[in-house]
Structure 1
């Protein structure tokens, strides 16, 4: 029966109508006459060797299934024969590599029987397949030689070589060789295998073991060999089945429970929100052993916040003042960054500052573009300037009144505001870095808890506006605290202000008297002079140190000392307030924290439409769940069979 090739869409191989027609023909036992020329086209193989379109070989597989109660459980993969030299206009060097790659890809598997098909009329030594098989089957327990076309071997010496191969006298294989009489190109359609194999009754073939001759013998050996390999592979196969089963169950677990009804969807989101809050609690209390997510450093939220806060306090003490204060012991300014004695008191040498800086290097303020319009980028902090003495003098001369020996309160307000000029930028950068750390934690937590990317995206779409609003509220609170310190008249009831002021005044006087002092000389035994460690100052020298200053010198020292004493108290108060109010309350633990947006209460308040949009399963997820369920069922059944 001939079938014309029609190129219309309705008669394409992918056409259901054409496929049904082919099935109907097969039911009438005429399907073998139906050509499928589209297979070559689909696989990219040329149908005409004279054509330049397409290739000679393809890695695509044309699978033919033969089913029936009398058929064996056997899969035969016929790969192209290995060749070394390309044929001009037909094959190329790339084809040589492609064929070799295909052969290696199949024979490397331990469950594959390698049938090395070798024409009897060629030199076996030139057949590369045997060498290739040895590379993947060192013991030879999977390689079986099949000698074809024995009818083409007419010379006695050549026949003797073939017999020596079968008898193991030449190029032996562990599983040996088998000789089969295959149908040749010149054989008629009425080829009879049994009659063709009668040649094995003649010399020299009749001298060989009968279980090495013919298709029946080869089939029996293959059946036996396949059974041996299968039984041997059962333990490994069981291990593979268990691994696949575990992977499928893990994937199913990541999908979470089915989400078809509103109740299922709300339960799913409630469970997700509960587990998210459990992660938040663990991250804020440093219980890092409670979940695998904390095996990585980045989700360790409170650790990053603690290091950021310590670094903020350290940098604030060293660099937040616009000009360096005078040292307590002299009227000269410090030349290093740790300018005032306050830093030495509070921080001394911060040995951990360098280590903290390394830990905080992975905070990227550009990581989340959604935060670009909210946070401030780190532009670096300049060191305090010099010249505070001349600056306070200039400030006084530009603002003085007709007071005697005193200065107005507005001078101190102006001085403090200018001295704290870097507070707004440093504070906003600190809070911005905390925001990035929190946002990174939330992203990683949701990625870990929810494998469904569609659900994650819908959750973010639902909560993002509120999260960003709460970030802004924290920055607004920080800005408010800055304004509270810098825009109001300096005032404190903290007794450390007066204590600091008395200390700095005392140190200033001590420094002036030290220049006038001398070591005390005591009289010992026998009226001998001894130099004491004590310093003594004449009363007249004390008087001279206090009456040698001008009014301006006296006032500018007072401005400096009061400013220094108040700045120290205000700075400590401010750093604490920024952490307590803007960071801890607004960003971490307060009821309006961004970490408190995704909660079970939020899930309860979702209406049905929004709930369906967030938690409803897509068609893809439903199909994936069904496929996984069926595969798990099959793998569990296979596991039970293999354990028998």
Structure 2
């Protein structure tokens, strides 16, 4: 009677309104009942979909006796002779509750459609006792098969052999201890023609591994005792995910079918830990068979057939704490308490981490935008952020945003650099022909003017002009093909800006070929023609440098737009809609630059700038000084070393000893040189002020001002929806994240 006393000590028989069933021990065997209750609350709210919870999972080959074991451990009376419940996982949860009831629901598979989830969640059965469940269970399983679309004899229209949906059975009552066990379909090696397929076999294997891979799962490896455990695939699979055997517990069933003495000895060696030892060990149980209708129990609540079997040799010699359903149930409750105690701090940490991740993902989606108002507000916020960055870029306030350094978007600095390069190139290489240098010995203000003249005529290589330009034909065609029709692409611009030096015959030839009937002077047409020849390269140089600026602005706009948009789809939608207007505004800036070139080159040379008169007077004075340089004599009355005087007759001859043609040519040269300098400076300033600053940077029609809150307010409903409307996938993702965040917040509240 040693076995009977042991079972009596670990099991308490109490009357129950729920029918004849095994009762959990009344003594406080749970290590953490409060925590187990909280874990059960989490599982009740389906938090286990997000956070792996401490779980007991029964796995095994088909016909290993899992369903019978689950009935013995949980008291749920699975119908005899039916294998319907093995077509999907069954989660059996014991929950302490003042009201005695059994609740049966379906947990949809995560990959189910919303319609399928709604249908599956609508199924609910509430029963008041185990007896009532036993009477109705077969019918309930038939109904569940219809909801899960399992194909059976009674449901020939079903589409599936196995389902990832989970049948959930909650057993509630004031004497229930917290225990949750999940039964998954048995794995099988061979398919049956007309019944199971290779995909079914893989599906079942995936379901099993999906449950046992988590470190918080205790694997109940159910093995028939009459089969060599070394041949059982489930042990190899469990070892794959639990190589140290720390969370695998072997449960040997059907000991009554073990006949040979050597086979019995092998089973005893497993239970005693002498062969293929597991850290959690092996347990030996005798469940009710499919054709076993005798469920009678002794006064202690132990099935008589189980008691009688384990009183026989060699089973009676085994450690009694590893024999029988009662001992197994007690150990399962202890294990569940242990892994719960271990996992509890980790669960809180993981819940906080997953909550932060979910909120970050939700923020990345932006605010909801289902209605026109929401879409408008959403776009307006993005446009406002875009304009804030634009303002900071134009003000060179680069400390306001990391993008200026990370993405090389210092716009105004780039533009100013391009304009400086343009100014230097125009000063050094803008003229077609070199002007004649008149050597003098200036002093005072004249020295400054001389320095200015010589600086203008320096070679570009001596001055160090930046020859690296932004505009590159290959880059534009590949990266920004939309700009190809607007900007001027030059593969090697420096080759086109070479100044023709030492062409002293240019003005003489022009004068001789264009002179008319003028008395000692020349026609203004000659001056206009000479100016056009001298400014031939202005158009190409201007278009090239304005192209550099347009390209810089275009890169800036697209980079900032991509930065402020929450996803690529939104960026592409906005880019697509604004592109035509952007190109039009770029073209407007370029057209105005061309207009400025045309005005300067085609209009009659004229200026009211006094600097022209000063330059012209200086040029004429320099010519006289040059002519008198060889006739000067030192002034002995003055002690200054550079004091010279000339005779009055020499001055007169210096002015009068040239022909009318020479005078005309010199006048053309000096007037052209003086006017060119004024015109060039005026032109560069105008290109900056009107074409660049007004049309391309800060004016009301600048491309930088296009994407703004005012632009958003001007969109019609269809355009708003096309740009900012949420796709179905985004709406589903938002809904999923909203629920996930709510569940995780609830999980943290429960885990406090």
Give the TM interval when normalised to the shorter protein. Answer: 0.5 to 0.7
* Residue of structure 2 in register with 1:68 after alignment: 170
1:212 paired to 2:327: no
CA separation in 1, counterparts of 2:270 and 2:327? 17
> Which of 592, 601, 605 matches 1:477?
592
Secondary structure at the aligned position of 1:66 is classed as: strand
CA contact (8 A) 2:600 2:683 kept: yes
1:283 paired to 2:393: yes
CA contact (8 A) 2:521 2:664 kept: yes
CA contact (8 A) 2:429 2:499 kept: no
Q: 1:243 to 1:370 in 2, by over 3 A?
A: farther
Secondary structure at the aligned position of 2:171 is classed as: coil
Correspondence list, 1:150-189, <5 A: 150=255, 154-180=259-285, 188=291
CA contact (8 A) 1:283 1:301 kept: yes
| Structure 2 residues not aligned, in runs of 5+ | 1-81, 83-111, 126-132, 152-156, 173-177, 296-301, 440-453, 631-641, 643-654
CA separation in 2, counterparts of 1:221 and 1:505? 116
CA contact (8 A) 1:270 1:600 kept: yes
CA contact (8 A) 2:585 2:701 kept: yes
CA contact (8 A) 1:501 1:565 kept: no
CA contact (8 A) 2:528 2:605 kept: yes
Secondary structure at the aligned position of 2:283 is classed as: strand
Q: 1:576 to 1:297 in 2, by over 3 A?
A: farther
Deviations 1:52-72 (A, max 9, x none): xx9xx99x9522312223495
Deviations 1:343-363 (A, max 9, x none): 758995549776x869x9997
CA separation in 2, counterparts of 1:261 and 1:37? 36
CA separation in 2, counterparts of 1:199 and 1:287? 88
* Residue of structure 2 in register with 1:638 after alignment: 747
What's the CA shift for 1:137?
4.3
* Residue of structure 2 in register with 1:32 after alignment: 141
Correspondence list, 1:81-480, <5 A: 107-116=212-221, 136-137=241-242, 140-147=245-252, 150=255, 154-180=259-285, 188=291, 195=305, 199-254=309-364, 256=366, 268=378, 270-294=380-404, 296-313=406-423, 320=430, 323=432, 325=434, 342=456, 344=458, 350=464, 364=476, 367-368=479-480, 370-381=482-493, 382-385=495-498, 388=501, 389=503, 392=506, 395-401=510-516, 409-451=524-566, 466-480=581-595
Q: 1:255 to 1:404 in 2, by over 3 A?
A: same
CA contact (8 A) 2:285 2:324 kept: yes
* Residue of structure 2 in register with 1:527 after alignment: none
CA separation in 2, counterparts of 1:494 and 1:79? 102
CA separation in 2, counterparts of 1:293 and 1:594? 20
* Residue of structure 2 in register with 1:577 after alignment: 686
CA contact (8 A) 2:355 2:745 kept: yes
CA separation in 2, counterparts of 1:602 and 1:447? 18
Deviations 1:68-96 (A, max 9, x none): 23495344555746x7x999999999999
CA separation in 1, counterparts of 2:531 and 2:211? 81
CA separation in 2, counterparts of 1:260 and 1:100? 42
Q: 1:179 to 1:29 in 2, by over 3 A?
A: closer
Secondary structure at the aligned position of 2:249 is classed as: strand
Deviations 1:147-167 (A, max 9, x none): 456556544445444433433
What's the CA shift for 1:132?
6.6
Deviations 1:505-529 (A, max 9, x none): 979x99xx99xxxxxxxxxxxxxxx
CA separation in 1, counterparts of 2:617 and 2:461? 20
CA separation in 2, counterparts of 1:265 and 1:148? 63
CA separation in 2, counterparts of 1:576 and 1:624? 54
CA separation in 2, counterparts of 1:478 and 1:191? 102
What's the CA shift for 1:142?
2.8
CA contact (8 A) 2:425 2:465 kept: no
CA contact (8 A) 2:528 2:604 kept: yes
CA contact (8 A) 1:163 1:208 kept: yes
CA separation in 1, counterparts of 2:457 and 2:183? 82
Q: 1:387 to 1:586 in 2, by over 3 A?
A: closer
Deviations 1:408-444 (A, max 9, x none): 5544543443443343344334334433443444444
Q: 1:235 to 1:414 in 2, by over 3 A?
A: farther
* Residue of structure 2 in register with 1:522 after alignment: none
Q: 1:460 to 1:352 in 2, by over 3 A?
A: closer
CA separation in 1, counterparts of 2:669 and 2:518? 18
* Residue of structure 2 in register with 1:594 after alignment: 703
Count of residue pairs brought into register by the alignment: 572
Secondary structure at the aligned position of 1:173 is classed as: coil
What's the CA shift for 1:220?
4.1
Which is worse superposed, 410-419 or 86-95?
A: 86-95
| Structure 1 residues not aligned, in runs of 5+ | 3-12, 42-46, 48-53, 331-339, 515-533, 535-545
Secondary structure at the aligned position of 1:67 is classed as: strand
Correspondence list, 1:525-544, <5 A: none
What's the CA shift for 1:487?
1.7
Secondary structure at the aligned position of 1:144 is classed as: strand
CA separation in 2, counterparts of 1:351 and 1:586? 26
CA contact (8 A) 1:134 1:140 kept: yes
CA separation in 1, counterparts of 2:209 and 2:594? 69
Secondary structure at the aligned position of 1:65 is classed as: strand
CA separation in 1, counterparts of 2:240 and 2:137? 48
What's the CA shift for 1:297?
1.2
Secondary structure at the aligned position of 2:168 is classed as: coil
CA separation in 2, counterparts of 1:353 and 1:144? 77
CA contact (8 A) 1:365 1:436 kept: no
CA separation in 1, counterparts of 2:192 and 2:688? 79
